[in-house]
């Protein structure tokens, strides 16, 4: 290993130190607790400019995470789904930043089916190097990245290392969106007539592939970078890949100043 490569490797390791890792996991759980306080009562639903739903839980989670991350890593900026227009424009100049979805799966939150998450990812040079996905309704945490491996923790139990399936045995298990199954998705699964289709909301779909509970998750529909970043780090840490559906290249972040939309993609082991 050359000296330059070694230094870059050490710098990347420092970005996801044990303390930062633990602080961010705790923060995701704290945001999840605040979400659940609203989940268990009546709450208001608003409509954003793109006509997607927004709730009080989205906002309180956003405020909690952005404030605390600025204390954990003061020098690293934060980009959230609920960030201001100015922040969305400025992010193109950032090499390292936190990318968060304070409440991924707002539609599932509104339906009260429990399939929603808090997503926090650390992006470094267009790559998601560390991610935390916390599902507060089932008190389950996924976290990890390529450099440290990936893990799952249920409640207060000890974390266990997770890995994608090495090979398919039996019918293919394909994850599909709970709320966004498109005609293209239905066409895709025609190539797997005996497949078991697993409906799921939020970034939990990618996490199912990461822990080997599913083989594929094709997303042939719109998503934004904050929807995938945290789960992509976990998937890659578990040995999987998140690839552009057409080109097969790995999904990158903050590559286009004009949009934060992802290309269609395939999550696989």
Measured CA to CA, the distance from residue 162 to residue 149 in angstroms comes to 8
Residue 140 sits at the vertex; the CA angle it makes with 137 and 144, to the nearest 5 degrees, is: 140
pLDDT in tens, 79-92: 999 998 888 889 99
Tokens 């994608």: give the residue.
Answer: 164
Report the sign of the C-alpha dihedral through residues 65, 257, 203, 122, in that order: negative
Of residues 253, 231, 242, the one with CA closest to residue 28: 231
pLDDT at site 186 = 85
> What confidence category does residue 181 fall into, taking pLDDT thresholds of 50, 70 and 90?
low
User: Which segment, 8-12, 181-185, 240-244, is predicted with the most confidence on average?
Assistant: 240-244
Give the orientation angle of helix 18-39 with respect to helix 56-72, to 10 degrees: 160
For residue 266, what are the β-bridge partners? 218, 243
Contacts of 147 (CB under 8 A, 6+ apart): 12, 13, 16, 129, 130, 237
If you average pLDDT over residues 167-191, what whole number do you get?
84
Do the beta carbons of residue 153 and residue 207 sit within 8 Å?
A: no
Reply yes or no on domain 3-161 having CATH 3.40.50.1000: no
Choose which CATH entry (3.90.170.10, 3.40.980.10, 3.90.940.20, 3.40.190.80) describes domain 173-268. Answer: 3.40.190.80
> What confidence category does residue 246 fall into, taking pLDDT thresholds of 50, 70 and 90?
very high
Tokens 């080997």: give the residue.
Answer: 212
Domain boundaries, the chain: 3-161, 173-268
10 pLDDT higher than 90:
no
**Residue 182 neighbours by CB distance under 10 Å:** 16
Measured CA to CA, the distance from residue 100 to residue 244 in angstroms comes to 21
Fold: same for 3-161 and 173-268: no
180 pLDDT higher than 70:
no
If you average pLDDT over residues 239-246, what whole number do you get?
97
Per-position DSSP letters for the chain, written without gaps between them: --HHHHHHHHHHHHHT-HHHHHHHHHHHHHHHHHHHHHHTS---EEE-TTS-EEEHHHHHHHHHHHHHHHHHSTTS-EEETT--HHHHHHGGG-SEEEEEEEEE-HHHHHHT-S--EEEEEEEETTEEEEEEEEETTTTEEEEEETTTEEEEEETTSPPEE----SS--SS-EEEEESS---HHHHHHGGG-TTPEEEEE-TTHHHHHHHTTS-SEEEE-S--BHHHHHHHHHHHHHTT-EEEETTT-PBP-SS--TT--BPPPEEEE-
If you average pLDDT over residues 238-244, what whole number do you get?
98
pLDDT at site 169 = 81
**Mean pLDDT (the chain, rounded):** 91
pLDDT in tens, 37-68: 999 988 878 777 776 888 999 999 999 999 99
pLDDT at site 78 = 97
User: Which segment, 28-32, 105-109, 173-177, 183-187, is predicted with the most confidence on average?
Assistant: 28-32
User: Which segment, 36-45, 106-115, 129-138, 178-187, is predicted with the most confidence on average?
Assistant: 129-138
Predicted TM-score (pTM) of the model is 0.92
pLDDT in tens, 121-159: 999 999 999 999 999 999 999 999 999 999 999 999 999
226 pLDDT higher than 60:
yes
1 pLDDT higher than 60:
no
């Amino acid at each position: 290993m050359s000296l330059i490569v070694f230094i870059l490797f050490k710098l990347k390791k420092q970005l996801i130190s044990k303390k930062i890792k633990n602080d961010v996991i705790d923060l995701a759980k704290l945001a999840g607790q605040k979400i659940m306080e609203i989940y268990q009562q009546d709450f208001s639903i608003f409509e954003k400019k793109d006509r997607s739903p927004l709730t009080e839980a989205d906002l309180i989670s956003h405020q909690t995470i952005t404030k605390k991350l600025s204390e954990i890593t003061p020098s690293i900026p934060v980009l959230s789904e609920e960030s201001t227009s100015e922040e969305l424009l400025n992010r193109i100049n950032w090499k390292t930043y936190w990318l968060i979805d304070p409440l991924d799966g707002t539609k599932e939150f509104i339906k009260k089916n429990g399939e929603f998450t808090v997503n926090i990812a650390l992006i470094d040079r267009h790559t998601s190097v560390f991610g935390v996905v916390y599902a507060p309704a089932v008190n389950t945490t996924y976290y990890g990245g390529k450099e440290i491996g990936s893990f799952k923790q249920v409640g207060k139990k000890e974390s266990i290392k997770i890995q994608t399936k090495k090979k398919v045995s039996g019918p293919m298990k394909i994850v599909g969106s709970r709320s966004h199954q498109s005609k293209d998705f239905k066409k895709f699964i025609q190539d797997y007539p005996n497949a078991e289709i697993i409906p799921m909301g939020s970034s939990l779909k990618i996490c199912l592939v990461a822990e080997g509970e599913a083989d594929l998750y094709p997303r042939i529909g719109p998503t934004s970078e904050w929807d995938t970043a945290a789960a992509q780090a976990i998937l890659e840490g578990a040995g999987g890949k998140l690839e552009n559906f057409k080109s097969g290249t790995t999904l990158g972040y903050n590559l286009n100043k004009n949009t934060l939309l992802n290309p269609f993609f395939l999550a696989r082991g």
